[in-house]
Structure 1
Amino acid sequence: MLINIDPLLSPDLLHTLRAMGHGDEIAVVDANFPGTTNAQRLIRLDGISVTEATKAILSVLPLDEFVDVPVHTMEVVGKAEDVPPAVAELRAIVGDRAQCSTLERFAFYARARECFAIVQTGETRLYGNVILKKGVVRL
């Protein structure tokens, strides 16, 4: 047990977040995402929403301040301007901390394959996928 650590952050996830360096990316994805197929390292958080997982991760992971856009979500196929509920919540969680952009579905898959790790949640809402770029930890 640790003090002030969100209980959703499992030992494996904490280890992964700590092992990541500045500029490494982590994908937090929904239950439909082909995580096993695409992950270099796969961490499962079944039963947890993508927004809960992202909020927990961002409680210990700074976003990269040296890039224009450190957060990417998946855009709706054929309707790039749509903002699904899960994406709206993810943007609210990121808030003023960083710019957020969207990636076309297959571009998102390609970028997720390059991520340090993929966290597969139990999110059932469509398009509940986000990629976060780790920043510098300032003490």
Structure 2
Amino acid sequence: MLKGIPAILSPDLLKRLCEMGHSDRLVIADGNFPAESLGKNAHVVRLDGHGVQEILQAVLQVMPLDQYVEQPVSLMAKVPGDNAPTPIWDVVKAEVKKVDERGEKVVGFLERFKFYEEAAQAYLIITSSEKALYANVLLQKGVV
């Protein structure tokens, strides 16, 4: 164990976060996300038993968001016609506001298949047991 490091961040996950450079991207994926098939060129780290909010809080404690882009955080937009509730979006925005002075305006949305395209280019995909729909979060790393 280390002081000041959230216990949820496993040694493997810490290693992968440390390897990331400025502008590299990571996905925090909900339980329905096709992480293994999309992440063929990414490192996939499983955090079973944990939700998106808990993982996001921990990651944002050790990784800054990119200050050189307007929206270093992207959520998967709803498929047109899907009326699924998305309270997780407010949770993500609240967590981002805690660490980025620009507030929730740094959070954008990507159409589902565009999100998949971007996720396929990510350096790291963190899987979760999140049951909320549309709870996938794409983060772009900033400068430490």
Q: TM-score, normalised by structure 2?
A: 0.90
Gaps of 5+ in 1: none
Report sequence identity in percent: 41
Corresponding letter in the other structure for 1:59: Q
Instruction: Indicate the residue corresponding to 1:120 in structure 2.
Output: 127
Provide the secondary structure at the position in 2 that maps to 1:92: helix
Aligned to 1:47: 49
Q: CA RMSD in A?
A: 1.7
Q: Which residue of 1 aligns with 2:97?
A: 95
Give the distance between the partners of 1:86 and 1:134, measured in 2 at CA. Answer: 21
Does the C-alpha gap of structure 1 residues 56 and 24 become closer, same or farther in structure 2, counting only changes over 3 Å? Answer: same
Matches within 5 A, 1:1-139: 1-39=1-39, 40-78=42-80, 84-95=86-97, 97=100, 98=102, 99-137=106-144
Name the TM-score, length of structure 1 as normaliser: 0.93
SS of aligned partner of 1:86: helix
Please identify runs of 4+ aligned residues in structure 1 that moved more than 2 A. Answer: none
**Count of residues paired in the alignment:** 137
Unaligned runs of 5+ in 2: none
